[in-house]
Amino acid sequence: MIQKAAELIRSAQNLTAFTGAGISVESGIPPFRGENGLWNRYDPQFLDIQYFQYHSGQSWPIIKEIFYDHFGDAHPNGAHEVLAAWEQSGLLKSIITQNIDNLHQRAGSKEVYEFHGNSRNLVCMECGKNFAVEEVSLEELPVQCTNCGGLVKPSFIFFGEGIPPLAYKQSVHALEQADVLLVIGTTGEVVPAGQLPYIAKEHGAAVIEINTEPSVFTKRITDVFLQGKASDVLRQLATELDKINTH
Ligand code: APR
């Protein structure tokens, strides 16, 4: 299967990747679902936009603990690095990620569409002022706007919030062009993100899925399922590609 996937990747004109929390698990960031999933330990309600507006005193400490204390010291792993190298060599055109951990960019990837926003920035819900996370103190919670005193939230998308329009447009366009789509480390259970791989499939793309276990995509649209950890499988693919390219 690795060989079949490597052949597909080598012949791709518009290789695209769609990534989820699973690609960052080997960087020490827990997934949301499955064993060790964050939603087994925290009620996702704290990330519901309505709840946050009225109970930011309860939500903010959990947000800080999960997305700033933990994520802060995570580093890109081999999976992020292979994808960045494939973009560098012109093989991979873009990455659509559901992740907000910035690890693709820290691995060197440039064309990254953050479908759920990112945790690097925060925004005031009253006046819309943007803040870089370095600019605000997370010791005084909830975070208040220095401009108007309003409630400040991370720029990543909460449940009940819309997808950033630019990221949405860029993602759909990339998926309509894709001829090979890598689906890496995602259950596909959250919409509208989970609908994205179907766009590529409808436009004729071959789907290569990398996951430690099957997902909602596996039986429906996956052409090649490579079961395993993202960094192991991507390193194997990179090795296989080098072999093919040297022949
Ligand atoms: N390598 C590859 N895949 C892995 C690994 C690994 N080392 N470890 C776990 N996985 C897989 C799991 O099998 C699962 O399919 O990663 C997936 C993680 O699933 P989720 O935690 O549901 O993550 P994701 O699909 O990205 O969630 C989508 O849900 O809560 C929202 O906004 C949040 O972006 C997130 C969205």
Domain boundary among 129, 155, 181: 155
141 shares its domain with 240: no
Q: What is the pLDDT along the chain (247 residues), one digit of tens a residue?
A: 999 999 999 999 999 999 999 999 999 999 999 988 999 999 999 999 999 999 999 999 999 999 998 777 899 999 999 999 999 999 999 999 999 999 999 999 999 999 999 999 999 999 999 999 999 999 999 999 999 999 999 999 999 999 999 999 999 999 999 999 999 999 999 999 999 999 999 999 999 999 999 999 999 999 999 999 999 999 999 999 998 877 6
DSSP for 208-231 reads EEEESS--TTTTTT-SEEEES-HH
> Strands, E, within 74-120: which ranges?
92-97, 112-114
Domain boundary among 102, 136, 155: 155
- For residue 188, the ligand 1 atom closest to its alpha carbon is 25
125 shares its domain with 4: no
pTM (two decimals): 0.96
Domain boundary among 131, 155, 179: 155
Q: What is the CATH number of the domain that holds 91?
A: 3.40.50.1220
Q: Which residues are catalytic?
A: 116
Q: Enumerate residues 6+ apart whose C-beta is below 8 A from 17.
A: 83, 92, 94, 95, 96, 181, 182, 184
pLDDT in tens, 109-123: 999 999 999 999 999
Q: Cα separation of 89 and 72, whole Å?
A: 29
Work out the number of other CB atoms within 10 angstroms of the CB of residue 13: 9
How many structural domains are present in the chain? 2
Q: Ligand 1 centre from 87 Cα, in Å? A: 23
Q: Cα separation of 225 and 228, whole Å?
A: 9
98 shares its domain with 208: yes
pLDDT given for residue 71 in this prediction: 76
Q: What is the CATH number of the domain that holds 132?
A: 3.30.1600.10
Residues 105 and 153: beta-carbon distance below 8 Å: no
150 shares its domain with 236: no
Please indicate whether residue 187, judged by its CB atom, sits closer than 6 Å to ligand 1.
Answer: yes
Please indicate whether residue 116, judged by its CB atom, sits closer than 6 Å to ligand 1.
Answer: yes
pLDDT given for residue 36 in this prediction: 87
- For residue 215, the ligand 1 atom closest to its alpha carbon is 15
Q: Ligand 1 centre from 139 Cα, in Å? A: 29
137 shares its domain with 214: no
pLDDT given for residue 200 in this prediction: 98
105 shares its domain with 217: yes
Please indicate whether residue 37, judged by its CB atom, sits closer than 6 Å to ligand 1.
Answer: yes
pLDDT given for residue 178 in this prediction: 98
pLDDT given for residue 247 in this prediction: 64
46 shares its domain with 17: no
pLDDT given for residue 73 in this prediction: 82
Hey, which of 104, 190, 215 would you mutate to test ligand 1's pocket, going by the most ligand atoms within 8 Å of its Cβ? 190
Residues 63 and 154: beta-carbon distance below 8 Å: yes
Please indicate whether residue 221, judged by its CB atom, sits closer than 6 Å to ligand 1.
Answer: no
Residues 95 and 80: beta-carbon distance below 8 Å: no
139 shares its domain with 172: no
Q: Ligand 1 centre from 74 Cα, in Å? A: 16
pLDDT given for residue 143 in this prediction: 96
105 shares its domain with 19: yes
Residues 125 and 148: beta-carbon distance below 8 Å: no
Residues 238 and 246: beta-carbon distance below 8 Å: no
Q: Cα separation of 123 and 151, whole Å?
A: 9
68 shares its domain with 170: no
Please indicate whether residue 32, judged by its CB atom, sits closer than 6 Å to ligand 1.
Answer: yes
143 shares its domain with 238: no
Q: Ligand 1 centre from 140 Cα, in Å? A: 31
Q: Ligand 1 centre from 84 Cα, in Å? A: 20
110 shares its domain with 135: no
Range of the domain at 85: 1-28+76-117+163-247
> Strands, E, within the chain: which ranges?
15-19, 92-97, 112-114, 121-124, 130-132, 152-154, 180-184, 206-211, 224-227
pLDDT in tens, 114-165: 999 999 999 999 999 999 999 999 999 999 999 999 999 999 999 999 999 9
